[in-house]
Amino acid sequence: MKQKVLMAMSGGVDSSTAALLLQEAGYDVVGVTLKMFENKDIGAGETDSSFVNVRDAKQVAEKMGFPHYVFDFCPYFRQFVIDHFIAEYESGRTPNPCVDCNKNVKLGQLFPKAEELGCGYVATGHYANVKFNEETGRWLLLRGDDRQKDQSYMLYTLTQNQLAHILFPLGRLQKTAIREKAETEGLANARKPDSQDICFVPDGDYARVIQNITKRKPQPGKFIHLDGTVLGTHRGQLHYTIGQRKGLGIAYQYPLYVIRKDVEKNIVYLGPQEALFSDTLIAESCNLISIPDLKGPVRVTAKPRYRAKDVPAVIEPLEDGNIKVTFDEPQRALTPGQAVVFYQDDVVVGGGTIR
């Protein structure tokens, strides 16, 4: 009897090709597209922004002859992603909504749905790999073979039970091979461009989206140099993130960067680039994958933001359950709210949120 798998289909070429590969491997595929939000949810009118993605996914499912459903996850997305995104920015932090979405919405809500439909597995178009370690008895999350597309950083919150029931058909493939496969099989979305931005902030102007949703106008405050000198007036701390240089509008004897923010006093502190560097951080809300717990210092490489290269570090447990990360070399702009993910070679040890 064929194994039944629930395939998350975004309407893009990656998930469509993943569905094709599962079908070729003998799985009984059930396609599903997740409706996460409508434009009215982000203050951008009443249009249903998911229409194109649903249409494209449904066309692929019809071509390959498997059923396709649409799940309305808008309430979950609003609660766990959009509301959290707003709260984090308004508290002076810089969240990673894709991590939150995978944990609490896309995967968090899909596994129960898969069980309801009699599917033993959930599959996605992420570039990552999973394997079982016979020696430790633990499921492992590994980087995708295409290092330019690897998304293991976004998946560090996966649990052992989820890893035992998830499939990543694209994990061993290169992006070029995936597009070629889609074209060979005549998939209509073979040349559909990849999405590069946060899905509900397509133009990158997150401050405008937050203002549209909350109807709250960011309050101007002071730009203050680390030495205490008042440098000017900012447009509201919401518009600035740690390490930012552009858009400050401050003329000074050397380039200035956002070093930190004091939300209560509505102050944005500026300083030289060297003030951005630190060799330690504290990670909270941590999840470990390759090991059940952290008993002492462990040598890893750590990735403090998605587009960063992971660098040598030591992680060690703290009494409050958080993890201290000490880098071999100081790192630039370690930003509260972002994820930090720990690796040993290709294996994800775990990760957490920078405090």
**Which residues are catalytically annotated?**
101, 199
Give CA–CA dist 283/233, Å, rounded. Answer: 32
Q: Kindly provide the b/e burial profile for residues 37-55, where b requires at least 16 CB atoms within 10 angstroms of the residue's own CB.
A: bbeebbebeeeebbeebbe
Q: Are the CB atoms for 189 and 12 separated by under 8 Å?
A: yes
Measured in whole angstroms, the distance separating CA 240 from the mean position of its chain's CA atoms is 20
Question: Within 10 Å of residue 177's Cβ, how many Cβ atoms?
Answer: 13
Pairing of strands 298-303, 311-317: antiparallel
Strand arrangement of the beta sheet that strand 166-167 belongs to: 68-72, 28-35, 4-8, 121-123, 166-167
- Kindly give the interhelix angle for 51-64 and 13-24, rounded to the nearest 10 degrees: 20
CA neighbor of 286 nearest in space, from 253, 325, 242, 333? 325
Determine the residue type at 206: Y
CA neighbor of 55 nearest in space, from 192, 204, 201? 192
Q: Are the CB atoms for 223 and 190 separated by under 8 Å?
A: no
Give CA–CA dist 122/276, Å, rounded. Answer: 41
**φ, ψ of residue 348 in degrees (nearest 5):** -80, 115
Give CA–CA dist 305/121, Å, rounded. Answer: 29
The tokens of 78 are what? 């609003």
CA neighbor of 327 nearest in space, from 273, 283, 261, 270? 283
